[in-house]
Amino acid sequence: MNSQLSQEQIKAIQEKLKNMPPEQLKEMMKQQCLFCQISNNKIEAKKVYEDDEVLAVLDINPASKGHTIVFPKEHYQVLAQIPEKLIEKLFNIANKMSSIIFETVQAEGTNIFVANGQAAGQNSPHAIIHIIPRFRDDNLGLIWEPKKGDDNELNELQSIIKNKASSIEIKKEKPKVVKKQKIKDEKSPPERVP
């Protein structure tokens, strides 16, 4: 079968995309997304963890033995779009998976790695967390050359970022309410005393 498109066909598709409502465009992206298709069981994957919201699969083109990908079943393009509760859950699971993988492949370390945006090396349209087992001298190249920072620039950045970060609100867990009934029970003597 000839899969080459003619110039006219390409033009027609581009025109169609331009006029497509954002909701429909998002739906189309989901249909094209490998990780959405894995979530919907349309593509088989080597699943190692699954609940109602989160999946973890072995990368079939691993950076190292045990390389695993943890991701939300719902389609989000980048981390910043994921709801806070789900972020908590994702990283909690990623952390636990990291320990399991570390033990399983007898790694000497792991990288828990997120690429946000193409410039950062993101090559899937779906936000994913990589767990990459590391071994001494594995030459994986996730290490950069540190350069001496410019003090003025650091000070300026500190002032701007610190100011913006002061608006971060992390909700504390509410203290557990002790039921009155329970206190009463504790105080009252046991019902049957021999």
What is the contact mask toward Zn ion in residues 109 to 138, using x (rule: CB under 5 A)?
A: -----------------x------------
Where does this chain touch Zn ion (CB under 5 A) — which range of 60-68, 75-83, 95-103, 107-115?
75-83
Residue where the block lists tokens 């007898």: 106
CA 34 to CA 69: how far, in whole Å?
12
Where does this chain touch Zn ion (CB under 5 A) — which range of 12-20, 36-44, 61-69, 106-114?
36-44
Q: Which of 45, 72, 75, 107 binds Zn ion (CB under 5 A)?
A: 75
Task: By CB under 5 A, tell whether 76 contacts Zn ion.
Answer: no
Q: How far is the CB of 72 from Zn ion (least distance, A)?
A: 9
Task: By CB under 5 A, tell whether 33 contacts Zn ion.
Answer: yes
Residues in the chain: 194
CA 139 to CA 141: how far, in whole Å?
6
Q: Are 71 and 128 in contact (CB under 8 A)?
A: yes
In the complex, residue closest to Zn ion by CB: 33
Task: By CB under 5 A, tell whether 35 contacts Zn ion.
Answer: yes
Q: Judged by CB, which is closer to Zn ion: 64, or 77?
A: 77
Burial class for 24, CB neighbours closer than 10 Å (0-12, 13-18, 19+) = exposed
Q: Are 105 and 67 in contact (CB under 8 A)?
A: no
CA 17 to CA 27: how far, in whole Å?
12
DSSP 177: P
> Would you state the structure tokens that stand for residue 121, as one six-digit string?
């090396």
* Positions in 48-67 near Zn ion (CB under 5 A): none
Q: Judged by CB, which is closer to Zn ion: 57, or 107?
A: 57
Task: By CB under 5 A, tell whether 105 contacts Zn ion.
Answer: no
Q: Judged by CB, which is closer to Zn ion: 87, or 105?
A: 87
Q: How far is the CB of 35 from Zn ion (least distance, A)?
A: 5
Q: Please state, as a whole number, how many other Cβ atoms lie within 10 Å of the Cβ of residue 154.
A: 10
Rounded to 5°, the CA angle 113-83-28 comes to 85
Q: How far is the CB of 71 from Zn ion (least distance, A)?
A: 8
Task: By CB under 5 A, tell whether 69 contacts Zn ion.
Answer: no
Judged by the rule CB under 5 A, the positions of this chain that interact with Zn ion are 33, 35-36, 75, 126
